[in-house]
Chain A
Amino acid sequence: MPLKPDFEPVLFKNRRGDRPATFDEYRQGGGYEALLATVGKKSPEEVVRMVTAAGLTGRGGAGFPTGRKWAGVPASAPYPRYVQPNTDEMEPGTFKDRILVNADPHLVIEGIILCAYAVKAQRGIFFIRPSYESDAQLIERELAVARAAGFLGSGILGSDFSFELSVHRSAGRYICGEATAQVNAIQGLRPNPVKAPGAHLTEAGLWGRPTVVNNVETLASVPHILTRGPEWYKSLAATPTGDGTKLYCVSGKVARPGCYELPMGTRLSDIIYEHAGGMLPGGTFKACLPGGASTAFMPETLFDIPMDFPSLKAVGHHLGTASMIVFDKNTCLLAATINIIRFFVRESCGWCTPCREGLPVILDILERIEAGEAGEADVAWLETMTRQLHHAYCAFAPGAAAPIEGLLRHFRDEVMDHLDGRGCPFGAPELADKPGAWHLPKGGRP
């Protein structure tokens, strides 16, 4: 389905090919008008109401309603309160935040300030992964511009609203993208996720104070909601279950990999064929990960599914970060899974047993299957362990389980083809860098 003729990009409105939009360019395009129309003119409660009415869902992967999160800061909560924009973006295949920050830094900054206004926060800590150093510097530079313009600092726009934002560079671990782990990381503690029954970051986060952690894509949507209204924002989506526009990242075996802003709920087939230029010449679609490495493989049968949170949930999948990694028929999905699980084995924070000890055991089984060293009992054990990953401490191990579950659910025959000495039908590319683990006879598999 092609885009509606009147579709105009929202988040990528000021995106240029060569450089970030400047403050002046952003202002000319109506930037900071939302802030001017809000600070001192709308009550914080009104802002929360509008964001709630727009149905804005969190773009970091969980799809939690943003308005509800903000409303979770109790009116009587102590000060200072914190906003923690999350640009950790460690999910493999995901690069939308980087492109967004690079396209229009002031859109992000305005969104953060509006969030701070809504939850009455005094401090913002912009958490960014260390490999985005140039983006961190860009944000720091543009923060100074915004400060000079009076949009940041004490008494913003002559009101009694004061807000200061600084950039915190992560030490660079996947788990730092998890909100509670990120709170620990900023406080100088080990970035272990924290799960206490009934505890919410919006009540006690950074240094025990209310803290709102939002993905930057979520926050960047806020200025538009405030200027053009929740109804307009909702109408942008392609489906009634979606909200606004979404940055879809497409990578893998497609002709034009990249980040595309499309109505939330655009069909997978349209994203791949209309926007990403279709499969690479000679390739045929086999499967894709719909939302980064921690989601399950989606087979061809779901090729026409609308890509929004509820639609995917209905068929047992997750939109995650909406980062499609596309595989063609010449790819061994087992090898792809091994690649992913190696990442998760390395990135586990080491807190709980299933994740720390279970994932390496699972990786070993996967590698053995790929090498043809496994039998049906191993697959059964793999399936059991994968199921048991769901009883881990946080969502990391269940995320790691997802691609394996997709593999076993939709591509079981392919897995079984590897067993009992047969090895990888595609040529075992994933074992080339693992010398010494197995004794493969020269010139062939056992």
Chain B
Amino acid sequence: MSRKPEEASCRLTIDGREIVVAADTPVIDAAERLGIMIPRFCYHPALGAVGACRMCAVKFLDGPVKGLQMSCMVGARDGMVVSTTNPEAVDFRRQVVEWLMANHPHDCPVCDEGGHCLLQDETISGGHALRRYRGPKRTYRDQDLGPFVAHEMNRCIHCYRCARFYQEVAGGRDYGVLSIARRTYFGRYEGGRLESPFAGNIIDLCPTGTLTDKPSRYRARRWDLERGPSVCLHCSLGCGLTVGARYREVMKLEARLNPEVNGHFICDRGRYGFGYESRPDRPRQPRVDGRETIAGAALAALAEGLKPFEAGKVAMVGGTRSNLETLAALLGLCRDQGWRPPVFFRDARLAGAAESAAAALSGDLVASLADVGRADVILVVCADPLAEAPMLALSLRRAARRGAAVLVLDHRPCDLPCEAERLTFAPQELAGCLSRLAHAALRGRKEAAAYLSSLPLPPDLLPETALALDTWGKRLAEARFPLVVCGTDQAEPTLPALAGGLARLLAGSHDQDRRAGFLPLLPGPNGLAAALAGGGDLEALLADIEDGRATALLVVESDLLSRTPEPERWLAALRKLKLLAVCDHLPSPLLEAAHVVLPSRTVFEAGGHFVNQEGRLQRAMPVFSPGLPMGRTLREGHPPRLFMSCAPGSEPRPAADWLKDLAGLLGAGGRAGDWADLAAAFPGLPGLAAGPAPENGRRCLPETAPGADAPSVAKTGSPDVPPDHLQVLLVERTFGTEELSCRAPLLAASAPEPWVDLAAADAGKAGLAHGAWLLVPLPGGPLRARLRVHQDMAPGLLLLPRDPRLLWQRLAGTGVLVELLRLHAITAEEEPAGEDTTLEAEP
């Protein structure tokens, strides 16, 4: 891919040193490249220059601009001579700090920002110590902004970063600037929880202690924290995180800059999805037959227990939240022992969709999250960005603000923080609609003939819908950088391949300097690696266990019992097993049923590599050594006076280590487990061979995907839905459904009440109103939930979130239909007090 011709560069002098930068680079950035950090408050690379704080004033001695100017507002030009140390500039900056400090409460000793406060740094480095201002100070009233953001307006220096992020970048409407002059206020019209799922970023952005992290407030100074780079595990995007831990407990997560992935920001699911690592019910002790034991004994018992089994009867279940090292060990174990291939996905549809998405990916086509912001026409198929990968929604907004057109084809009421056209179809119609759109986009293209002939027939469409699809097809064909996003959570198995094929042909339709992109969403942070590894699915495995074709089961970091729609059937099947071993760090009912429990470490303690949806290998560093959080081992406010060689509760080991040691005990292989073995385990990721991930990750996909041009399209079976019946679909939500973050105490305590969705047409037929309590007759028993009615949702569906607070597992099967007229609203007296809707299965 070739870029546009080299941008004009210019040479300027800053403090006597020359630098060549692209013309119009802000002088503040040019100086930073020379290592000269010009003080700033309002300027932020992700928010741009607005010239509000006046802190970055420098003197322009020569060139097209003269005099004292703000270095963020002036673009670099040839011949500029800039002095950052000119006395006039220094005096002005000193005065700005004095002005900013005139009303400051001087409360650094009790301020959570103390120690990493930009205002503190600039005040001290500028030498401002004594206040000359003798007048009365301004006092603001603070607001309660919800459970995550603490508000202390008296510390505010009015840099406008928070409001600019909240409204411009995140599209939030409920927080912003109020009042004027000296009384300028940053907050909400009334106190209350910040509505945006990206609100936590204003904590990172605030250069003072005005907006601080509420959950970690007063618990640690910055210098007390054990900090390290990590990767977010709450969807497949792999955003960069900085973990801050203290006393064997994660205190807070912050966004870590990764320019091609998340940029400077993360979503609140990623920021507050921790806490599962210090739950009191986390398994920390190896167990054999319910009795606690030591690691060696548990492993020996497991190895001994596995020996009598015929290799073909041993099954392994892996999780897409495991690190790459664990997945490699798991694959190696199955291969070396001749066991059944490991199973990662909950059903055949998801496994098929993930595999077809993975097969369609290649280095020349895959798009990063940053690419989304660069695209000009974006097609989102069968994905609900805010629910499945929240940061994708932020990237879509960035694209839309730059003028990109966004089309979302989905059956759910996708809520996006930007302008987008919505066309709603039933899930089984999506492939047909995509086909119509692809025909319009690729009409007359010879090389597309094979692809087009492989597409399913479009469903019967309303004329205006067909016209809209054709128009969007043309738009994609004419786009400078078209991009196709495809989800896998709800998609038919062939859909990602069709979407990827369309993107590939769109790329081919362009001149040399144009490109197209494909961005699939995959299940879990290591969903791509799992999909490339292949294997079966849990539904098939369940049948095999019931039929006695699998009699020993090893489950590694997969919460299958809490995630299945058929828990009763699984429990019955598990009882048939002769051996069940579980290696995990999450508490689950599965642990109670297990013969052998091997406690594993979380990403914060074990670190490891993850490959995100664009094939980017990223590394999380272990941040602290495992053990019971200090707060829990205190006796009368003091740590127990016990002298031990290890911390209490430090028995968990990295899952990969358990598996490697097990392999050693089982005799075969006994691999060293070095990087070469890991790379060899994933032939679909050739880039792994180059070694562990560098700071911002490295793409590992093959440059081209052989055979991806002509996807093989299997006939997809659409369920026969009798009239006046609803298909119950399990869906993800931004908060409360994802496997790890739904165990996070912070999010569990604050996530909005779970609800079910119904299309307005269906709700009207059944006489159900938005906001009513609904009784849904499911095969496993009735489910009560609040109803939301949507205009922009496909009819014939009931959307049920996999939220542990709902009794969704009463679904007791897949493809469940409910009769529309059997849904009914509960009267006020019948409304549950609350405990009825929570799942008592939490151990």
Contact of A391 among B57, B103, B132, B184 (CB under 8 A): B57
Is A422 engaged at the interface, CB distance under 8 Å to the other chain? no
B134 x A368 contact (CB < 8 A): yes
Asked whether, in the complex, the Cβ of B180 is within 8 Å of the Cβ of A173, the reply is yes
Interface status of B141 (Cβ within 8 A of chain A): no
Tell me the residues in window 159-201 of chain A with beta carbons closer than 8 Å to chain B beta carbons: 173, 175, 190, 195, 197
Among A29-37, A50-58, A354-362, A412-420, the stretch in contact with B: A354-362
In the complex, which residues of chain B have a beta carbon less than 8 angstroms from the beta carbon of A345?
Answer: 181-182
User: Which chain B residue shows the least CB distance to A378?
Assistant: B132
- Residue pair B158, A350 in contact (C-beta under 8 Å): yes
Q: Tell whether, in the assembled complex, residue A357 and residue B182 are in contact, meaning their CB atoms are under 8 Å apart.
A: yes
Query: Per a CB cutoff under 8 Å, which of A173, A349, A364 touches B134?
Result: A364
Report the separation of the CA atoms of residues A190 and B132 in the bound assembly, to the nearest whole angstrom.
Answer: 32
Q: Are A393 and B52 in contact (CB under 8 A)?
A: yes
Partner of A349, one of B53, B92, B102, B180: B180
Which residues from B are CB-within-8-Å of A354?
54, 96, 99
User: Which 5 A-B pairs give the minimum distances between C-beta atoms?
Assistant: A350-B184, A364-B135, A357-B99, A348-B181, A350-B180
Contact residues in B for A195 (Cβ distance below 8 Å): 51, 73
Which residues of A, 87-144, contact B by the 8 Å Cβ criterion? none
Q: Chain A: interface residue count, which band?
A: 20 to 34
| Residues of chain B at interface, number, CB under 8 A | 33
Main secondary structure of the interface of B (DSSP, over half): loop
B54 / chain A contacts, CB cutoff of 8 Å: 352-354, 391-393
Q: Which of A150-158, A298-306, A327-335, A380-388 contacts B (4 or more CB under 8 A)?
A: A380-388
Please tell me if the beta carbons of B68 and A391 are within 8 angstroms of each other in the complex. yes
CB-CB nearest in chain B for A175: B180
A350, A367, A385: the one within 8 Å of B182 (CB): A350
Q: Does A437 contact B (CB under 8 A)?
A: yes
Q: Check A430 for interface membership: any CB of B closer than 8 A.
A: no
5 contacts between A and B (CB under 8 A): A353-B96, A358-B95, A384-B95, A393-B54, A437-B135
Please indicate the chain B residues that have their CB under 8 angstroms from the CB of A190 in the complex: 177
**Is chain A's interface secondary structure helix, strand, loop, or mixed overall?**
helix
Beta-carbon nearest neighbor of B185 in chain A: A350
Question: Within the complex, what minimum Cβ distance (angstroms) separates A393 from chain B?
Answer: 5
The closest CB in chain A to the CB of B67 belongs to A391
Which residues of A are found within 8 Å of B92, using beta-carbon distances? 388, 391
Q: A203 at the A/B interface (Cβ < 8 Å)?
A: no
Q: In angstroms, how far is the closest chain B Cβ from the Cβ of A361?
A: 5
Which of chain A's residues have a CB closer than 8 A to the CB of B184? Answer: 350, 356
B761 at interface by CB-CB < 8 Å: no
Count chain B CB atoms within 10 A of each CB in A195, A384, A388, A392 and give the residue with the most. Answer: A388
Asked if residues A357 and B180 are in contact (CB atoms below 8 Å), the reply is no
| Nearest CB in chain A to that of B135: its residue | A364
A173-B180, A350-B183 given. 19 additional CB < 8 A pairs?
A345-B182, A348-B181, A348-B182, A350-B177, A350-B182, A352-B54, A353-B52, A353-B55, A353-B96, A353-B158, A354-B54, A356-B184, A357-B100, A360-B102, A360-B135, A368-B134, A391-B92, A393-B51, A437-B135
Given contacts A197-B75, A388-B95, A391-B92, contact A353 B182 (CB under 8 A): no
**Residue in A197, A349, A367, A381 whose beta carbon sits within 8 Å of that of B181 in the complex:** A349
Known: A360-B102, A361-B133, A388-B95. A352 touches B53 (CB 8 A): yes
CB distance from B691 to the nearest CB of A (A): 45
Contact in complex: B52, A197 (CB < 8 Å): no
Instruction: Confirm or deny: B179 has a beta carbon within 8 angstroms of a beta carbon on chain A.
Output: yes
Q: How far is the CA of A348 from the CA of B55 in the complex (A)?
A: 18
B136 in contact (CB, < 8 A):
yes
A335-380 residues at the B interface, CB under 8 angstroms: 345-354, 356-358, 360-361, 364, 367-368
Bound-state CA distance A252–B99 (Å) is 34
How distant is the Cα of A347 from the Cα of B132 in the complex, in angstroms? 24
Residue of A nearest to B136 (CB): A437
Residues of A near B68 (CB, < 8 A) are 391
Contacts A348-B181, A358-B99 given; does A197 touch B74 at CB 8 Å:
yes
Residues of B within 8 A of A368 (CB): 134
Tell me the complex Cα distance, A393–B160, Å: 14
Q: Which of A352, A358, A381 contacts B52 (CB 8 A)?
A: A352
* Per-position 1/0 for B255-272, Cβ under 8 A of A: 000000000000000000
Given B52, B160, B180, which contacts A348 in the complex, CB threshold below 8 Å?
Answer: B180
